[in-house]
Homo-oligomer: A and B are copies of this chain.
Amino acid sequence: MEFGIHTFVWNDGQSQKDIEQAMEATRAAGYAVLELPGLDPARFDLAGLVRRAEALDLKLAASAGLPPACDVTSPDPETVRRGEAFLLEAVGVARDLGCSQMSGPIFSAHRKFDTLPDRDGWQRSADVLARVAGVAKEAGVALCLELVNRYETNLINTVAQGLAYIADTGSDNIFLHLDTFHMNIEEADPVQAIRLAGRHIGYFHVGESNRGHLGSGCIDFAPVFDALLEAGYDGIVSIEAFNPPALNDHLKAVCAIWRDVIGDNAAFARHARTFMEMQHEAALRRAAAYGGA
């Protein structure tokens, strides 16, 4: 298991310099992985980022969210076409950054929908994702569907839905990106959800119920880490949180970040790492006691 942190704990990643600063802060806080938001390849020197990461012995993880104009569930073919192009570009960026996966809410627009989901939109999305997953596979990049809550997509909110969707794509290169913040809203039981997801988990976000300090909210993390261990998940576990002073208004509005719940972000990052490590160690201890893992 490798511990990562999302760029948004540091800044909004709008420039090469932002990302480089985030890399250094990530290293200083003791993480092995930095998760990058969707980067426009025309605006970033990706090779430069890779070199910087290698110099810091840091792994990069790529994520992205589909903007409304690229909604692959849309009845408008042009919108869907834009979505497919957007995803293919994001896969290319992930590949160029040396990432083994590209994750996020990539199966529909990342937004509060005003319309109900329907079977046709689901199928349009699955068709696009199947194609993109094929291309991604050749690039060595796994697609990971971030199961965000009902207010950020209307299509897939739970693991059960996610698995049905993956089956419908017919792809073996699509996985689930689970997130404790979202599961706390959508899953009757996040722990059973993780166990149901099992070997289909491709990426994992840890976030407190209010997106604040881990352990200071409503989420019971002990059985979450037990379930990750039981699922045999040994990939990246990243803390996702938001540092409002360094984020632009558009990003804050999209993610509904109306107030600061993390305070000193460097202290927050160090705390999150220690918290995750202690939870993981506790899970290993319990697994040893019960013959698991």
Contact = CB atoms under 8 A, between A and B. Distances in A.
Contacts of A223: 191, 223
Given A184-B218, A186-B210, A253-B114, A226 B278 contact: no
B196 A258 contact: no
Interface in A209-267: 209-210, 212-213, 215-220, 222-223, 226, 249, 252-253, 256-259, 261
A74 to B, nearest CB: 16
Given A184-B218, A278-B274, A286 B189 contact: yes
Contacts of A271: 278, 281
Nearest to A112: B112
A285 interface: yes
A184 B161 CA distance: 23
A185 B185 contact: yes
B209 A184 contact: yes
B212 A256 contact: no
A289 interface: yes
Contacts of A218: 184, 187, 189-190, 218-220
A275 interface: yes
A246 to B, nearest CB: 15
A217 B195 CA distance: 16
Given A114-B253, A219-B218, A256-B150, A212 B189 contact: no
Given A223-B191, A278-B275, A290 B196 contact: yes
Nearest to A253: B114
Nearest to A152: B151
Interface in A123-154: 149-152, 154
Given A160-B289, A271-B278, 8 more contacts: A113-B256, A117-B258, A184-B218, A189-B289, A189-B290, A196-B291, A215-B282, A271-B281
B216 A258 contact: no
B209 A185 contact: yes
A218 B217 CA distance: 12
A149 B257 CA distance: 11
Contacts of A259: 157, 161
Nearest to A161: B259
Contacts of A185: 184-185, 209-210
Most buried by B among A113, A154, A282: A282
B285 A188 contact: yes
A253 B274 CA distance: 37
A193 interface: yes
A290 to B, nearest CB: 4
A154 B256 contact: yes
